[in-house]
Amino acid sequence: MKVIWHDLECGGYEADLPLWEELADEAQGYILELGCGTGRVTVHLAKRGASLVIGLDRDPELVAAVWERAHPAADAELDDVRDFDLASEFALVLAPMQLIQLLEGRGERINCLKCVAEHLMPGGRAAFAIVEELELAPAGGTAPPLPDVQQIEGWIYSSQPLDVVASSGMFVVRRLRQTVSPEGELSDEIDEVELCPLAAETLEDEAIEVGLLPAGRRSIPATEAHVGSTVVLLEKGP
């Protein structure tokens, strides 16, 4: 089920791909994607001609999905972005879709940044997509976007973005997931994803602490179902 929901909710997202393509084309070496999920970015960049793209995720079902979608230049490792040790150095490390904000605060971000610094080759770059501001759901709110829907072997899966609420200092992004069986039985649940508030300047300051240098910022436009992002670029010195 994790693979189905991940593909449904994330697989069709393309707004960030032009930037990852641009950075990949400039990279002179291997590429690492943090929080690769089912391989949306990892497999895409591999198909475009990257020499090697390795995805990293701590969920075995998602990593297995990348393996099943095998491409000669794509691979995936089962590991934690806060504590990983790979045999390769990378020219580019990508962290799409607010991956860094899924971590629980400064300590976990520092651990992740340390691992990134240790795995970047001299002159290598890292790119972290973050959302600095989220519009909270107003009272009486507006109609949510249309749901993402997919039919698989007679089952219908639907995921509809609902709203963003604040809770205990976190942004909580809520979606309604519904499943209809071949017999017409409906089940639903609310899925919630917590994002830790984070400013680009804060992330840059934390990166400096582990030896990475700020290297500019880029932006990814919003879509009907996804917020826009600021991409913080970092670089490892020579």
For residue 173, give the CATH number of its domain. 2.20.25
Query: Strand pairing of 155-167 and 90-95?
Result: unpaired
pLDDT at 139 over 70: no
Tokens of 224: 């009907």
Q: Are residues 87 and 157 in the same domain?
A: no
Q: Are residues 124 and 37 in the same domain?
A: yes
* Tens-digit pLDDT profile for residues 164-211: 888 888 999 999 999 999 999 999 999 999 999 999 999 999 999 999
Is the full-model pTM beyond 0.85? yes
Query: Strand pairing of 74-78 and 90-95?
Result: unpaired
Q: Are residues 203 and 191 in the same domain?
A: no
pLDDT at 219 over 70: yes
Q: Are residues 185 and 203 in the same domain?
A: no
Q: Are residues 119 and 225 in the same domain?
A: yes
Q: Are residues 8 and 120 in the same domain?
A: yes
Q: Are residues 82 and 25 in the same domain?
A: yes
As beta bridge partners, residue 152 has: 155
User: Looking at the domain assignment, is residue 174 inside a domain?
Assistant: yes
DSSP state of 144: P
**Residue 109, domain CATH:** 3.40.50.150
Q: Are residues 184 and 107 in the same domain?
A: no
- Residue 164's pLDDT is what? 87
**How many structural domains comprise the chain?**
2
Q: Are residues 158 and 228 in the same domain?
A: no
Q: Are residues 114 and 39 in the same domain?
A: yes
Q: End of a domain among 195, 211, 226?
A: 195
Beta-strand ranges (E) seen in 11-152 are 31-34, 53-57, 74-78, 90-95, 120-130, 148-152
User: Looking at the domain assignment, is residue 16 inside a domain?
Assistant: yes
Q: Domain range spanning residue 216?
A: 2-132+198-236
pLDDT at 141 over 60: no
Q: Are residues 108 and 127 in the same domain?
A: yes
